């Protein structure tokens, strides 16, 4: 039976892993563990198709240990017993346990002593947050690493590798992947490499060669095989970013109908991660302190969208977009932090007042640290006049609220009252 392209192209060692360089790159934690032959059990969590199984496969390929794969939901305790017996004979087995959040107590209790002894090195894979959905007994015996969606450059590397690999990939086929088709393939799969590779394989195997023997993969072919339409056939992909820009500017400009139009374009393209990221940026940058509850509800909508996925995610996203577009707007927090960063990045600051410095160690008082600090909770209204900014910046004001809502008007009045008391 021919295995899918994504399965065949799994990395054989850490050098072949695409993306996740924060874990497997030179000098990073998993790379160091492998080089030092000091593997420990771990849980890899993140979205589908981001390399959890690939990392496990690469770890096994970079070591002398046997590698076995099981599913916590569908494989039985007996399957775990087979792995344990193999570990007794060979010394150590690396076990990739998919959907580890669905491991029941019986299988967990069997597994724990083998993890303790090191006979089984567990690599658990899950799309769920392990701090919430995995039993503490397993968590305490593992390192927890988060894997993130691959960026476009990573997916492009993997696609090009698959097209040229004659042993495991599609190198035996004379494939011409047009630029706009490549851009659609790597963008619309939302950082999911498995989806990108399997969509590519379907496109190649279902397309007849032309008279010159070339299998030409065009944009319409990719759209059909991955069931995602491109927002534009623009070769350089500028239109993709134009839509994102128009989306934010429409919400900022309080045009709810335009905002929904550009949301629809992004939804149709399947670009869920960038919709969610952009909405949270808008919530805090453009609405901000004028309506903090809208920002909180936007985060809730994003969390719901992550759980639901498309197409259902369009519903909480639309709720957030409508509320943000029709909310009062204020960028006062955004402007304030950028002003503060400008001072810090320009080294435009002096030493902080000594009474604010840490005084929780022996000898601090001799240095004057913490001396004269006034604890606000010991004074009426939990406030007392004292200097907090460095001398060089003691008159600097970063926060300039606009008062575009009752909430921000209240912040503005409080800021003015405290300023006048200084």
| Upstream peptide bond of 311 is cis (omega within 30 degrees of 0) | yes
Among residues 146, 179, 210, the one where a domain terminates is 146
**pLDDT grade for 230, boundaries at 50, 70 and 90:** low
Whether 304 is in a domain gets the answer yes
Q: Does 418 have pLDDT greater than 70?
A: yes
pLDDT of residue 3: 87
Residue 232 resides in a domain: no
Asked whether residue 24 falls in the same domain as residue 97, the answer is yes
The CATH number given to whatever domain includes residue 358 is 1.10.3710.10
> Are 28 and 98 in a shared domain?
yes
Is residue 269 within 8 Å of 187, Cβ to Cβ?
A: yes
Residue 232: per-residue pLDDT: 42
Of 164, 191, 226, the one marking the end of a domain is 226
Lowest mean pLDDT among 276-280, 296-300, 328-332, 367-371: 367-371
Q: Is 100 exposed, middle or buried (0-12, 13-18, 19+ CB in 10 A)?
A: buried
Q: Which pLDDT band, with edges at 50, 70 and 90, does 347 fall under?
A: confident
Domain check: are 126 and 29 in the same one?
A: yes
CATH of the domain at 128: 3.40.50.300
State whether 192 and 214 are in the same domain: yes
Among residues 297, 326, 355, which one ends one of the domains?
A: 326
Q: Residue 229: what pLDDT?
A: 52
Q: Which candidate, 104, 101, 150, places its Cα nearest to that of 124?
A: 101
Supply the CATH number for residue 158's domain: 1.10.8.60
254 and 317, same domain (yes or no): yes
Per mean pLDDT, which range of 22-26, 111-115, 246-250, 270-274 is the poorest? 270-274
CA atoms 285, 288, 294, 297: torsion sign: positive
What 3-state DSSP class applies to 71? strand
Average confidence (pLDDT) over 145-157? 89
User: What is the C-alpha separation between 290 and 294, in angstroms, rounded?
Assistant: 9
pLDDT at 195: 87
Q: Using CB atoms within 10 A of its CB, is residue 72 exposed (0-12), middle (13-18) or buried (19+)?
A: buried
Residue 259 has pLDDT above 80, yes or no: yes
Domain count, the chain: 4
Confirm whether 267 is domain-assigned: yes
Judged against a pLDDT cut of 50, whether residue 193 lies above it is answered with yes
Q: Tell me the per-residue pLDDT of 350-395, one tens digit each, with 9 for 90 and over.
A: 788 888 888 888 787 878 888 888 888 988 888 888 888 888 888 8
Q: What is the pLDDT of residues 51-104, one digit of tens each?
A: 898 898 899 888 878 889 999 989 999 999 999 999 988 888 999 999 999 899
How sure is the predictor about 236, in pLDDT bands with cuts at 50, 70 and 90?
very low
Residue 134: pLDDT over 90: no
Whether residue 108 lies inside any domain: the answer is: yes
- Residues 26, 115: one domain? yes
Average pLDDT value over all residues in the chain: 87
The reported pLDDT for the residue numbered 233 is 31
Q: Tell which residue, 234, 242, 247, 244, has the closest CA to residue 183.
A: 234
pLDDT of residue 238: 52
Residues 191 and 242 in one domain: no
List the CATH number of the domain containing 321.
1.20.272.10
pLDDT at residue number 294: 93
169 and 285, same domain (yes or no)? no
pLDDT band at 234 (very low <50, low <70, confident <90, very high): very low
Which residue do the tokens 């086929």 mark?
173
Q: Is residue 75 part of a domain?
A: yes
- Asked, for residue 336, whether it belongs to a domain, the answer is no
Percentage of residues of the chain with pLDDT beyond 90: 45
**pLDDT beyond 90 at 50:** no
Domain extent at residue 67: 20-146
Q: How far is CA 306 from the centre of its chain?
A: 11
Domain shared by 316 and 373, yes or no: no
Output the CA torsion sign for 247, 253, 256, 257: negative
Establish if 333 belongs to a structural domain. Answer: no
Q: What's the pLDDT score for residue 237?
A: 46
Residues 289 and 392 in one domain: no
Instruction: Tell me: do 24 and 126 sit in the same domain.
Output: yes
Give domain status of residue 187, yes or no. yes
CA atoms within 13 A on the CB side of 276: 21
Residues 72 and 108 in one domain: yes
Examine the pLDDT at 202 and tell me if it is beyond 70: yes
Determine the pLDDT at residue 226.
80
């Amino acid at each position: 039976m021919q295995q899918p392209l994504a399965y065949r192209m799994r990395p054989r060692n850490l050098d072949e892993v695409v993306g996740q360089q924060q874990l497997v790159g030179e000098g990073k934690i998993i790379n160091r563990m492998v080089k030092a032959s000091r593997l420990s059990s771990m849980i890899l969590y993140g979205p589908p198709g981001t390399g959890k199984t690939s990392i496990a496969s690469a770890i096994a390929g970079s070591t002398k240990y046997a590698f076995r794969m099981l599913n916590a939901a569908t494989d039985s305790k007996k399957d775990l017993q087979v792995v344990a017996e193999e570990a007794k004979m060979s010394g150590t087995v690396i076990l990739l346990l998919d959907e580890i959040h669905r491991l029941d107590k019986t299988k967990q209790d069997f597994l724990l002593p083998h993890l303790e002894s090191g006979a089984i090195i567990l690599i658990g894979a899950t799309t769920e947050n392990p701090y919430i959905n995995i039993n503490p007994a397993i968590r305490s015996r593992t390192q927890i690493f988060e894997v993130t969606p691959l960026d476009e450059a990573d997916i492009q590397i993997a696609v090009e590798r698959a097209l040229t690999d004659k042993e495991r990939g599609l190198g035996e086929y004379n494939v011409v992947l047009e630029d706009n088709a490549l851009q659609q393939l790597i963008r619309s799969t939302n950082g999911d490499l498995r989806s990108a590779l399997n969509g590519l394989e379907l496109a190649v195997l279902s397309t007849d060669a032309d008279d010159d023997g070339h299998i030409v993969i065009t944009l319409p072919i990719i759209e059909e095989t991955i069931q995602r339409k491109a927002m534009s056939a623009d070769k350089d992909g500028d239109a993709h970013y134009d839509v994102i820009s128009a989306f934010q500017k429409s919400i900022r400009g309080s045009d709810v109908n335009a905002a929904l139009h550009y949301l629809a374009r992004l939804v149709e393209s399947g670009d869920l991660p960038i919709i969610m990221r952009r909405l949270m940026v808008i919530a805090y940058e453009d609405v901000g302190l004028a309506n903090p509850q809208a920002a909180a509800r936007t985060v809730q909508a994003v969390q719901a969208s992550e759980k639901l996925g498309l197409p259902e995610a369009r519903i909480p996203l639309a709720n957030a977009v409508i509320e943000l577009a029709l909310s009062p707007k204020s960028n006062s927090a955004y402007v304030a932090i950028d002003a503060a960063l400008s001072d810090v990045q320009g080294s435009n600051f002096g030493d902080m007042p000594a009474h604010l410095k840490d005084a929780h160690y022996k000898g601090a008082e001799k240095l004057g640290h913490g001396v004269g600090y006034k604890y606000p909770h010991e004074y009426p209204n939990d406030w007392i006049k004292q200097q907090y900014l460095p001398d060089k910046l003691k008159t600097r004001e970063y926060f300039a609220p606009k008062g575009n809502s009752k909430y921000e008007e209240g912040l503005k009045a409080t800021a003015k009252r405290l300023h006048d008391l200084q």
